[in-house]
Amino acid sequence: MQQSNTAILEVKGLSMAFGGIQALNQLDLKVHGGEIVALIGPNGAGKTTFFNCVTGIYTPTAGDVLLTPPGQKTTRLNGLKPNVIAKRGMARTFQNIRLFQNMTVLENVMIGRHCRTSSFILGAIFRPPHTRREEQEIVDHSYAILEKVGLADVVNDFSKNLSYGQQRRLEIARALATEPSLLLLDEPAAGMNPQETQELDKLIRRIRDEGHAVLLIEHDMKLVMNLSDRIYVMDYGRRIATGTPQEVSADPAVIKAYLGESDDA
């Protein structure tokens, strides 16, 4: 878990307005290689909007999103399409699970391999040797990821038939298949029981150790405090605090945002 000094993701002055509503206001954020960073804040603080802006689902109204995968050039992601961003090395999961329900678990992960493979119509029809090899690579790689997240027993099930916790892990597996240098997790522990959360903690550490930086939105404070190297706290679209878990949990602004202001303060 060596921390490098180059920021994989650097967000500068990111703003997003929907009509008159300023969902994100001058937000700065950095994620370095080998780091687990958490983004927390009360409901409606703009965390998911932040993810959507960074991954290209929304085009931010102002600011810069810069991605520098290890050993590669920096790219400005503003205005790029989500699929291009995924190919550049950033993948995400969704808060409200968005799996391909009528596809098998394995096929869901195989979709993640799409941007790292290239066979097209003629390859599909004639299946020359290199397409067969590629197809085999997709299957093997996907299966290896499923083994890692503990879904190897259900590879041929439709993803809609999985339990909630399994679906969350499948989302992570699918994102990992795109070989991201940065993985964005949107409330990965939502709806999980304590034991599943424990396993998730281990899984995220393992993902980090295998060389993917992680940025997560999470409401489970125990998980966040245990797991994160650094935390960003948001409220009303602004960054109100940042630092290590200890620093953040002692910050008066954070306490105010979460618990409200007391009369004698």
Partner 1 sequence: MNFAEIRRALGVALWFVFLTFPLMVIRVDSIESTIEWRWMNMLWVAVGSFALSLLTSWYFRRREAAVGKVSDKPPLAVRLRTWTADPARRLPLFGALAAFAIVFPFLFSSYQTNIMTTALMYVVLGLGLNIVVGLAGLLDLGYVAFYAVGAYSYALLNTHFGLGFWTVLPIGAALAALFGILLGFPVLRLRGDYLAIVTLAFGEIIRLVLENWNDFSQGPSGISNIERPALFGIELTLNQSITYLYFLMLLMVIITIFVVNRLQDSRIGRAWLALREDDIACQAMGIDKTKTKLTAFALGATWAGMVGVIFAAKTTFINPASFTFLESAIILAIVVLGGMGSILGVIIGAFILILLPEYLRALADYRMLAFGAILVTMMIFRPQGIIANVRRTYQFTRKDA
Binding site for partner 1 (CB under 8 A): 55-57, 81-83, 86-87, 91-92, 94, 98-104, 106-107, 110-112, 114-117, 119-121, 123-125, 127, 131, 134-135, 138-139, 143, 147, 152, 155-156, 158, 174-175, 177-178
As measured in angstroms, the least distance from the Cβ of 178 to partner 1 is 5
Which lies closer to partner 1 via its Cβ, residue 86 or residue 248? Answer: 86
Q: What is the DSSP letter of 117?
A: -
Do residues 6 and 32 make contact, with C-beta atoms less than 8 angstroms apart? Answer: yes
Residue type, 98: R
As measured in angstroms, the least distance from the Cβ of 60 to partner 1 is 16
As measured in angstroms, the least distance from the Cβ of 143 to partner 1 is 6
Do residues 173 and 143 make contact, with C-beta atoms less than 8 angstroms apart? Answer: no
As measured in angstroms, the least distance from the Cβ of 86 to partner 1 is 4
> H-helix or E-strand containing 143?
helix 129-149
As measured in angstroms, the least distance from the Cβ of 210 to partner 1 is 17
Which lies closer to partner 1 via its Cβ, residue 107 or residue 229? Answer: 107
SS3 155: coil
> Per the structure block, which two tokens stand in for 16?
């997003």
- Give the distance, in angstroms, between the CA of residue 156 and the centroid of all CA atoms in the same chain: 25
Which lies closer to partner 1 via its Cβ, residue 126 or residue 259? Answer: 126
As measured in angstroms, the least distance from the Cβ of 259 to partner 1 is 34
Which lies closer to partner 1 via its Cβ, residue 7 or residue 154? Answer: 154
The sheet carrying 75-76 orders its strands as: 21-32, 7-18, 62-67, 75-76
Which lies closer to partner 1 via its Cβ, residue 116 or residue 238? Answer: 116
Which lies closer to partner 1 via its Cβ, residue 113 or residue 239? Answer: 113
> Per the structure block, which two tokens stand in for 25?
């206001």
Backbone angles phi, psi at 10, to 5 degrees: -130, 120
Backbone angles phi, psi at 256, to 5 degrees: -65, -45
